[in-house]
Amino acid sequence: MALFNAQKIRSQAAQSLHTIAFEGQSSSDVLANIEFENPSDTSLYKAIVLGSCRYFERLDALSHLLLRKPFKPKDRDLLCLLIVGLYQLEYSRVPDHAAISETVDGCRQLKKEWATKLLNGVLRSYLRQKEALAQQLDHHWDTKFSFPEWLIKRIKPHYKGQVEQILEQSNQQAPMSLRINRMKTSRADFCRSLDEVGLGYSEHPLVSSAVVLDQAVPVLSLPGFEQGMCSVQDVAAQLAAQLLAPKPDQKVLDACAAPGGKSAHLLEFTDNRIQLDAVDIDPIRCFRIQENLERLELSATIHDSDVTRFLHNQTDHYDAILLDVPCSATGVIRRHPDIKLLRRDSDIAELQQIQNEILDAAWTALKPGGKLLYATCSILFEENEQQITAFLDRTHSANLVDLPEALVAISHAQLGCQIIPGTGSMDGFYYALLQKSS
């Protein structure tokens, strides 16, 4: 892991943004390898990178309005540095003079001192024209909400009257939500521990294990975290165990299980009394599943395997299957703003095919009378309701199970439950519960 001093915050942020926006690496991978000597500098660096990803579409368009001619491809690091500067001026609490001087100094760190006067002039020009430029950008939804046009076009037909809400909520900072480990404590007792350390919170009405903090804190400052009293997990993700509701002694599969939050919740839900297979194709992510389970003192059999191949090789059948399939992740953009940069319109058809294959393979591994919960963190109709409709049409042994009225009341789908970002402090998720005919 590289360690940097404070002087390199902006230049490193620009290089990281370049790696994400133009080389296609995820922000999680990029940010994991960078730290600064002072932890507060690391926090500022991460905030700048993620903020620049969140508003990249708008800030990139803004750069085109401000520059007389665009940067050459070999100078895209300077474009990223300019976006880093514009992000600070528009969205951060960094004082204007500090944002400009530190960003301009980033040219020297990038060994492109020739660009210092250019960036200085452009950033100051932005401050003079700020209101007029904002009006220009607000004329178009892609630059107003900083969303790729292709994604807006996919959202619009299925969320009439709610598109702006979805886009606005997807640009908000997601709250920090906790899953209370019912094997070790009750929600009421854990909340008393939060009271004792002065952390504000609310108990979520839909999920009995969920607490939403008023503000994010380091995990090690959470009471009992190291002892496995709680885990960080979005409320919508916590619905999975509650909906599938496996029973003790059942054989259960969590397909595509990493990083293991839902696997752990299934085990907590049943007092660690199910026979759980947790499958994921990535060996590093499988190691993370194991780490999470060890902290929580839970046990499962972890399989490093392609899930479709794993399912085809199964001779035993499962009582319950959680199928959290690979998806566009368009429901969790507020947590992972780089999705707006990494995902492409052409990805959706490929993801649909993968989802189809996994769903069909999982169904063959389900016992008659067993239940399968199809889940995505997507808000796209093509990955969710359309998939379930097609599956029901081609699979006569599949029956849709009614979901709780409280979920139906907030759903934006005719089949299953579609949660949109921000509803009840939750991420965007889709669930459909299916039962196999006996």
In the annotated binding site for S-adenosyl-L-methionine, the residues are 256-262, 280, 306, 324
- SS3 call for 265: helix
- SS3 call for 415: coil
Tokens of 432: 């459909």
Half-sphere exposure in the Cβ direction for 116 (13 Å, CA)? 13
Whether the CB-CB separation of 373 and 322 falls below 8 Å is answered with yes
Measured between alpha carbons, how far is 42 from 426 in angstroms, rounded to an integer?
27
Measured between alpha carbons, how far is 310 from 345 in angstroms, rounded to an integer?
29
Question: Taking phi first (over 0 means left), then psi (-120 to 50 degrees means alpha), and beta for anything else, what does residue 197 get?
Answer: alpha
Task: Out of 230, 286, 327, 377, pick the active-site residue.
Answer: 377
417 labelled catalytic: no
Work out the burial of residue 106: count CB atoms within 10 Å of its CB; fewer than 13 is exposed, 13-18 middle, 19 or more buried.
buried
Q: Which residues contact 391 (CB under 8 A, 6 or more apart)?
A: 356, 359, 360, 374, 398, 434
Residue ranges for the binding site? Answer: 256-262, 280, 306, 324
Measured between alpha carbons, how far is 212 from 204 in angstroms, rounded to an integer?
7
Tokens of 228: 């496995």
Measured between alpha carbons, how far is 365 from 309 in angstroms, rounded to an integer?
12
Radius of gyration of the chain (CA): 23
Cα→Cα distances 156→151, 159, 166, Å? 9, 6, 10
Q: Read off the DSSP letter of residue 394.
A: H
- SS3 call for 277: strand
Burial state string for 162-189 with b = 16 or more CB within 10 A and e = fewer than 16: ebeebbebbbeebbbbbbbbebbbebee
Stated as kind and residue range, the H or E segment containing 374 is strand 366-376
Measured between alpha carbons, how far is 280 from 308 in angstroms, rounded to an integer?
10
Q: Read off the DSSP letter of residue 92.
A: S
Whether the CB-CB separation of 207 and 180 falls below 8 Å is answered with no
Query: How long is the chain?
Result: 438
Catalytic residues: 377
